A and B are shown apart, each in its own frame.
Chain A
């Protein structure tokens, strides 16, 4: 059985699912509204003769059918960032506001970090954490290229994330008075087994192993748990992966709602998606996991994705 066949029982139309997984993805860019506007960026692409197609759900996410994102004038001005279409979903679902405090728990190389900063008009604070130094260098290069100033970067295991560096006199006390204030929102875009990226990188399927799924699920649970703990009551946490594996998706949510004061909440998504599933290989999950969204490659001609929105209750 191939890795994708494992998920056949979950998809409505396996033949179109397999066919979509075989097709390469077009290059996609997101307009960086810290440095320009959607209108200006589109005008610049027209001026330099790069064809684009607007996606029908996001005016600033543009498909480039004939070009690579990185070699053109609007790119060198930091007006564009190459980012897969579904990868632009979780920051929109988190919807951070200017002036808020936001944690990006698995941030490198910063596609979503820079999108969060742009949604906040580069005001407030984004703390971007990753445990991989090399990937953090790429993150810093991206945040600087895109002109982000409201960011602090930490290299650490997100499971042990400390709020200590982020205190200031004006802050409300955090969990202890020496700590910085808790977050208004957190994005938990965890490492995963990545079958959803098969259209970009077919090798992911060869590298896939069930043992790894189980190991990585432990890390995902630890990171999501820390994010809920570090977010204030009433705050929002978004959990996202690019895997179809229920062990890394619904099972991780099930763990979080059992262990921490939070609940899975519904959200609107302007893309076709399927609900989270409540049964998988003999396991059953809480009904509220159906509020999460599974995005399969054939539904919107994108990569595969999973996204859930949680509210912290206590």
Chain B
């Protein structure tokens, strides 16, 4: 059964859904278009400098076309459950997009494409607002950090294009914090 025969968003709440483990490499791929574990690890590494060893204890699963979930440990695939670990990544579009939750959980290991914001700019970002900012690095999805309790902490995902940082904070996670 191809996972892409239903709309991803509709599947979120579809009770009888199942999770399929990503194939390790392209040789093992049975569903066309499904990313491999190797591709997911190298994406985190190339985009954010996260060492693939960080993900060693985890398995990656697809439910809904292009929605990739990260789960501690492993289970026999497919798994017929209503949730498995956390959604980490969307791979359907040309540029893969990490979730806020995955970035908060694993983004502390990132070494590149992290933009550090002072508190007022972090508040603008958290409120879901776009802002003009200077950034010397790549365009595309960035990990947004700010300082809390003396350390830079990953807060969410921004999209940097045309001198502007667009907030990707999902509606339900937005807050107005002064």
Contact = CB atoms under 8 A, between A and B. Distances in A.
Interface of A: 34-36, 40-41, 43-44, 47, 71-74, 76-78, 122-125, 128, 133, 136-137, 139-141, 143-145, 147-155, 164-170, 180
B177 interface: yes
A51 to B, nearest CB: 16
A77 B153 contact: yes
B10 interface: no
Given A40-B149, A166-B75, A147 B82 contact: no
12 contacts: A73-B177, A77-B153, A125-B72, A136-B83, A144-B86, A149-B85, A150-B71, A151-B83, A153-B82, A165-B80, A167-B76, A169-B76
Interface string B55-90: 001100000000000111111100111111111000
A166 B177 CA distance: 41
B101 A144 contact: yes
Given A76-B126, A144-B87, A35 B75 contact: no
A60 to B, nearest CB: 15
A284 to B, nearest CB: 42
B153 A151 contact: no
A147 B105 contact: yes
A155 B15 CA distance: 8
Contact of B82 (A73, A123, A154): A154
**Which 5 residue pairs of A and B lie closest in terms of their CB atoms, listed nearest first?**
A153-B83, A150-B72, A147-B105, A43-B149, A44-B149
Given A149-B71, A149-B86, A78 B104 contact: yes
Contacts of A73: 148, 177
Interface string B144-178: 00001111010100000000000000001101010
B13 interface: yes
Interface of B is mostly: mixed
Nearest to A41: B149
Contacts of A40: 149, 151
Interface in B110-165: 126, 148-151, 153, 155
Contacts of B177: 71-73, 76
A76 B173 CA distance: 8
Given A36-B149, A148-B85, 17 more contacts: A76-B126, A76-B155, A77-B153, A123-B73, A124-B73, A128-B83, A143-B83, A147-B104, A149-B85, A149-B105, A150-B73, A152-B83, A152-B84, A153-B82, A165-B75, A167-B75, A168-B75
Nearest to B122: A73
A150 B75 CA distance: 11
- Looking at B75, B79, B150, B172, the one whose CB has the most chain A CB atoms below 10 A away is B75
A165 B74 CA distance: 12
Interface of B: 13, 15, 57-58, 70-76, 79-87, 99, 101, 104-105, 126, 148-151, 153, 155, 172-173, 175, 177
A167 to B, nearest CB: 5
A57 B74 CA distance: 36
Nearest to A70: B175
A145 B80 CA distance: 23
A123 B85 CA distance: 11
B64 to A, nearest CB: 14
A167 B58 CA distance: 16
B120 to A, nearest CB: 13
B83 A140 contact: yes
B148 A150 contact: no
B81 A141 contact: no
Nearest to B108: A35
Contact of A125 (B73, B101, B172, B175): B73
A144 B69 CA distance: 11
A114 to B, nearest CB: 12
B156 to A, nearest CB: 9
Contact of B58 (A140, A149, A168): A149
A137 B82 CA distance: 10
Given A122-B72, A166-B75, A35 B104 contact: yes
B75 to A, nearest CB: 5
- Looking at A36, A44, A77, A143, the one whose CB has the most chain B CB atoms below 10 A away is A77
Contacts of A167: 75-76
Contacts of A143: 83, 86
A141 B172 contact: yes
B81 A148 contact: no
A145 B172 CA distance: 11
A258 B150 CA distance: 56
Contacts of B57: 123
